[in-house]
Structure 1
Amino acid sequence: MHKHINKPVRFLEGTNVYLRPISLEDSKDYFEKLTNLEMRRLTGTQRSYTQEQINKYLEGKVHETSSLLFLITLRETDEVIGDIAIQDIDSFNRSANIRIAIDNAPHQGKGYGSEAMLLLLDYGFGIVNLHRIELNVFSYNERAKHVYEKLGFKVEGVQRDALYYDHEYYDSIMMSLLEDEYREKYKK
């Protein structure tokens, strides 16, 4: 008898990665990711979380309509390498916030994050009918800022000393991409 293996749902599929909805079964891995020191630094995560808090958070995400949270997964191996979300969806103004985290160094710098961003940007502009997608990046994360600029995001402003982390203050750089800018760059 063959054991039935549940294949992950490939919600948005790219060349090297696909995005799949997060589920309660992912809770333990998600919790472990939040204890990764470098990941906490790059995302400016200051609080600590318990496994129970993460369970509750994910339970809430399942029913929430103002955000879409996905796991970034390698196509070849189904290995989860990070997460990405469109949050604070405002249907009146057709705007939202996007955030991404790639878990560890071996998966960084390979274009996986850019590919995941493009998959979700296409979904945000083409399906969710957003007009504006914004993000924040901290001033010490030059690599991420460079990637966002290559994707077409424009700097809108700087929130000075917005994050206090490891005994220092850092600026938060606000960036955005508008639907016509996205279409001009990617849909010609």
Structure 2
Amino acid sequence: MINTSALRAKPTLTGERVHLVPLGPEHTDAYFSAGLDTEVRRLTGTHRHLTYAEAREWCATRAGRTDRLDLAIIAPKDGRYLGELSIYAVAAENESAGYRIALSAIEFTGQGLGREATQLVLEYAFESIGLHRVWLYVYAFNMRAIAVYRSCGFAVEGRLRDSLLWEGRRHDALLMGVLRSGLRRT
């Protein structure tokens, strides 16, 4: 049974290297800037730049959403915005939801920040929200992300052929999923 109050609660989740806090208006500038980073856009398959007004509206409306969980990834030492993540497309009747994460700059990759953020939010998704399954899509060229997801217990469940057209080349996306019983904690 899904605990919908856990989606409304907008928790703060604390790890050693990252804090996950509710995404809000105070993150607008950093959220907007991350969307301008070419490599971040390629890794997420984002073709269109959000306007500043769209970024401001997105950040300002997250707290009011009761059907999803949007959190900013923050460095605990200096409060620096590192990225954001979401539990979305919650299907209460199936106890499943989608997951996405985007670090705001390539300089934050390779440090275990995404892994820790993913583990924190998956623990919340399974233990507090009551999900049974969490799924995601990742582009097949994003080997670093695939390795992180596997280390957290995700397994490849399918392939969406030629799902991204980026700079004239087509790329596959992998569907990955993790079950509550498959979550790996490090």
CA contact (8 A) 2:11 2:21 kept: yes
Partner amino acid, structure 2, of 1:111 = G
User: For residues 68-118 of structure 1, what are the alpha-carbon distances to aligned partners after superposition, in whole Å with 9 as ceiling and x for unaligned?
Assistant: 111111111111111111111111111001111112233210101100000
- Please identify, of 53-62 and 156-165, the stretch whose mean Cα deviation from structure 2 is larger: 53-62
Provide the TM-score with structure 2 as the length reference: 0.90
Shift of 1:18: 0.8
Flag the structure with more relative contact order, 1 or 2, with Cα contacts below 8 A and sequence separation at least 6. 2
Matched, 1:86 2:76: no
Shift of 1:26: 1.5
Per the alignment, residue 146 of structure 2 pairs with: 145
Partner amino acid, structure 2, of 1:150 = S
CA contact (8 A) 1:10 1:18 kept: no
Provide the TM-score with structure 1 as the length reference: 0.89
CA contact (8 A) 2:161 2:171 kept: yes
Of structures 1 and 2, the larger Rg is shown by 1
Partner amino acid, structure 1, of 2:50 = Y
CA distance in 2, matches of 1:54, 1:107: 21
Per the alignment, residue 165 of structure 1 pairs with: 166
Per the alignment, residue 127 of structure 1 pairs with: 128
5 Å matches for 1:95-110? 95-110=96-111
5 Å matches for 1:27-66? 27-66=28-67
**Runs of at least 5 residues in structure 2 that lack an aligned partner in the other structure:** 1-9
- Please identify, of 44-53 and 171-180, the stretch whose mean Cα deviation from structure 2 is larger: 44-53
**Runs of at least 5 residues in structure 1 that lack an aligned partner in the other structure:** 1-8
Shift of 1:10: 7.8
CA distance in 1, matches of 2:82, 2:91: 28
Shift of 1:172: 0.6
Q: 1:117–1:156: structure 2 CA closer, same or farther, 3 Å change rule?
A: same
5 Å matches for 1:15-30? 15-30=16-31
Per the alignment, residue 3 of structure 1 pairs with: none
CA contact (8 A) 1:72 1:80 kept: yes
Partner amino acid, structure 1, of 2:24 = S
User: For residues 22-48 of structure 1, what are the alpha-carbon distances to aligned partners after superposition, in whole Å with 9 as ceiling and x for unaligned?
Assistant: 111211221111011110001000112
Shift of 1:180: 1.4
User: For residues 106-154 of structure 1, what are the alpha-carbon distances to aligned partners after superposition, in whole Å with 9 as ceiling and x for unaligned?
Assistant: 3210101100000000000000000100011001111111111111101
Q: CA RMSD in A?
A: 1.7
- Please identify, of 101-110 and 157-166, the stretch whose mean Cα deviation from structure 2 is larger: 101-110
CA distance in 1, matches of 2:108, 2:56: 26
User: For residues 47-73 of structure 1, what are the alpha-carbon distances to aligned partners after superposition, in whole Å with 9 as ceiling and x for unaligned?
Assistant: 121111122222332211221111111
CA contact (8 A) 2:30 2:81 kept: no
